[in-house]
Structure 1
Amino acid sequence: MRRIRYEHAGGPETLFLEDVPVPEPGAGELLVRTEAIGVTLPVVRKVREGPLPIPLGGEIAGEVVRVGEDVSGYAPGDRVAGLCFGHGYAEYALLRTAMASAIPAGASAKDAVALVRSGAVALGALEAARPEKGESVLVTAAASGVGHLAVQIARLRGASRVVAAVGDRAKARFVRSLGADAVVTYGQEGWGEPVDIVLDAVGGDVLTPAVRALAPGGRLVAYGSGGGTIEAFDLLVGGRSAIGFQVGMVARNRPERYAGWTGELWRLFGEGALRPMVHGEFALADAARAHATIEGRANRGKVVLVP
């Protein structure tokens, strides 16, 4: 089979295609013939900045072709999506059953790969803030694979006002079409009326204005890999708080909660209330172009590899 790998940190140019044997599923694993693979900012950053090469994992969706020992509930021929912790940029990938979700009839693999993991991050990050109906929410990276779903979920969960923060004003029309009431850019002076919740995927220089955008008692949830520092004084003023969220930790330690999120996402999708958007499809061999699209923050929705 073909898969994408890299041997040292760098940009998209370090990715290369190789031929390797099809892996064998172990206990509790599914061997999936991938039909769609999600490209995420954390993986893109690890390729550029990580000290050691890692398997290129993330969201996958496709057909089960073989199951390992101690697998129940899945069989060859089933269509599944989920979070792969091993080599996911490949024609065949291994998926733990705890991370798997059946793709319902009428949904494509691209729908699934744009919805399941990114939607779980968006939904989980919002829940981490313990929102109350009628509170306002600001989403950074609002046009991203996670952010565009977070904007919609915040609205569906009863937010009184949803603000989309983006790096380029050209994305304003896109995020407004998803339900954003207002759009701000990172470089502008002030982000308007304070909000109760900020969902931040950007980090870095965006953290300070994101915290200062909070109303008294507001909560910032950091779920990205951008790093950065928050000044304690900015939290003390107005009794603000910062919360870290990692979906992988929940999936491993609270699988029933992760399954609940996945079920809710599929329900909202089936009702037509939640629209996963795919920015572009790239062949597996074009993984470098897909990574460059993410690095250039050109995407509006999910970037997907299609083997």
Structure 2
Amino acid sequence: MRALLVDSSTPSGLRLGETADPEPARHEALVRVTATSLNYGEVAHRKEAPEGTVLGWDAAGVIERAAADGSGPAVGTPVVTLGEAGGWAELRAVHTGMLGVPPTGADPGALSTLPVAGASALRALRRIGDTLGRRILVTGATGGVGRYAVQLARLGGAYVIATTGDPGAHGDDLRALGAHQVVTEPADVAEPVHGVVDLVGGPQLVAAYDTLAAHGTLVSVGHVTGQPETFPFGALYGDAGRHDRSIVTFYLLERPDIGPDLTWLAHRLAAGDLDPQIAWRGGWDRAAEAIAALLDRRLHGKAVLKIG
């Protein structure tokens, strides 16, 4: 099969070449991939992978061979998939618990934006709990996860506050997605919030934690600053009426049970309840162009590659 392979000798760190077809385990389906979306984490660290590796977390396609154990969809079923690697190839072996089934006719490119970005946003909001009538802060909201978090929080009945480094440039877009308020940083939030989806890390996570009301939860998802989270003395005291506040994390691939979430997200996207916010589309022969735009922070939204 053809695939984007890690190749440190090229400027992009990738080359389009041939590699062996994957051999699915009994609980895995073989998927013919038609589209993949890029995530900053996998792109930023691509050159650390061994030569010849096929990377790629997100992919949409069609079942080529059903799982031998009888689980999962039948041959010919459109699917959206998540995995630790293998999405940047014509064929991918996927645990059937990591497969979502979209409605017939859904756009594979749009579907491919859902696994990491959409599912991370959904699970982060679940960790916060009930959002109906609550104030939810989303930091770093212009990225893929942030844009889905804003939309899902609004769908859940929250009053949504979004942060972005440039509200003048991105405020209208975030408000169109459902943000009630757009600010530059957590320190600009005037009233305590019930939950935070933090996609930045470092000092901004510390500042976001300070916005939490009593019993509030901050879910740490992103770490783009590369800086440590250093809390000043007293920041974790349970006094001043803001006690029992939590900081939690999760790992999206911890358990192979993401399939129902991907199915739900795919149906919401197909119904028009979610906007995939695709900022770049092209063939996989243009992967280097998409990667450069993503790493240079020139894309505010998702980059989608057509496979094959």
TM bracket, shorter-chain basis: 0.7 to 0.9
Q: Distance in 1 between matches of 2:49 and 2:223?
A: 15
C-alpha distance 11-199 of structure 1, shift in aligned 2 (>3 A): farther
Indicate the residue corresponding to 2:2 in structure 1: 2
AA paired with 1:244?
T
More displaced, 205-214 or 263-272?
263-272
Residue in structure 1 matching 2:162, options 142, 164, 169: 164
Indicate the residue corresponding to 1:206 in structure 2: 204
**Structure 2 unmatched runs, 5+:** none
Q: Distance in 2 between matches of 1:36 and 1:267?
A: 18
Once the two structures are TM-superposed, the CA of residue 123 in structure 1 deviates from its matched residue by: 0.9
Q: Distance in 2 between matches of 1:264 and 1:68?
A: 22
C-alpha distance 69-264 of structure 1, shift in aligned 2 (>3 A): closer
Q: How many residues align?
A: 298
C-alpha distance 241-11 of structure 1, shift in aligned 2 (>3 A): farther
AA paired with 2:178?
G
Match runs of 1:6-155 below 5 Å: 6=6, 13-47=12-46, 50=48, 55-155=54-154
Q: Secondary structure at the match of 1:13?
A: coil
Is residue 211–residue 235 contact of structure 1 (8 Å, CA) maintained in 2?
no
Matched, 1:246 2:247: no
More displaced, 33-42 or 204-213?
204-213
TM-score scaled by length of structure 1:
0.86
**Higher helix proportion (structure 1 or 2):** 1
Once the two structures are TM-superposed, the CA of residue 221 in structure 1 deviates from its matched residue by: 0.3
Once the two structures are TM-superposed, the CA of residue 181 in structure 1 deviates from its matched residue by: 0.9
Is residue 29–residue 94 contact of structure 2 (8 Å, CA) maintained in 1?
yes
Q: Distance in 2 between matches of 1:132 and 1:100?
A: 27
Which deviations, in whole Å up to 9, do the C-alpha atoms of 1:240-287 show, x marking residues without a partner?
3211122211x43xx2xx344234323433543222221111321222
AA paired with 2:235?
D
Once the two structures are TM-superposed, the CA of residue 37 in structure 1 deviates from its matched residue by: 0.5
Once the two structures are TM-superposed, the CA of residue 152 in structure 1 deviates from its matched residue by: 0.9
AA paired with 2:252?
V
Once the two structures are TM-superposed, the CA of residue 26 in structure 1 deviates from its matched residue by: 2.7
Is residue 59–residue 87 contact of structure 2 (8 Å, CA) maintained in 1?
yes
Q: Distance in 2 between matches of 1:288 and 1:174?
A: 27
AA paired with 2:234?
F
Which deviations, in whole Å up to 9, do the C-alpha atoms of 1:109-140 show, x marking residues without a partner?
01211234422211110011123421101112
C-alpha distance 66-51 of structure 1, shift in aligned 2 (>3 A): closer
Residue in structure 1 matching 2:191, options 184, 193, 208: 193
- Identity in percent: 35
Q: Distance in 2 between matches of 1:280 and 1:132?
A: 31
C-alpha distance 12-74 of structure 1, shift in aligned 2 (>3 A): farther
**Structure 1 unmatched runs, 5+:** none
AA paired with 1:234?
A
Which deviations, in whole Å up to 9, do the C-alpha atoms of 1:152-210 show, x marking residues without a partner?
11011111x21111233312111111010111224x86344332211012212322222
Is residue 29–residue 97 contact of structure 1 (8 Å, CA) maintained in 2?
yes
Q: Distance in 2 between matches of 1:199 and 1:205?
A: 15
Q: Secondary structure at the match of 1:285?
A: helix
Is residue 54–residue 85 contact of structure 2 (8 Å, CA) maintained in 1?
yes
Match runs of 1:169-188 below 5 Å: 169=167, 170-186=169-185
Q: Secondary structure at the match of 2:234?
A: helix
Question: RMSD of the TM alignment (CA)?
Answer: 2.6
Q: Distance in 2 between matches of 1:191 and 1:296?
A: 28
Q: Secondary structure at the match of 2:20?
A: coil
Once the two structures are TM-superposed, the CA of residue 216 in structure 1 deviates from its matched residue by: 3.6
C-alpha distance 283-266 of structure 1, shift in aligned 2 (>3 A): closer
More displaced, 145-154 or 258-267?
258-267
Q: Secondary structure at the match of 2:112?
A: helix
Indicate the residue corresponding to 1:285 in structure 2: 285
Q: Secondary structure at the match of 1:72?
A: coil
TM-score scaled by length of structure 2:
0.86
AA paired with 2:246?
S
Residue in structure 2 matching 1:224, options 222, 225, 230: 222
Is residue 25–residue 66 contact of structure 1 (8 Å, CA) maintained in 2?
no
Q: Distance in 2 between matches of 1:234 and 1:12?
A: 45
Indicate the residue corresponding to 1:234 in structure 2: 235
Which deviations, in whole Å up to 9, do the C-alpha atoms of 1:64-103 show, x marking residues without a partner?
2223422334233221111022321112222221111122
Q: Distance in 2 between matches of 1:12 and 1:282?
A: 19
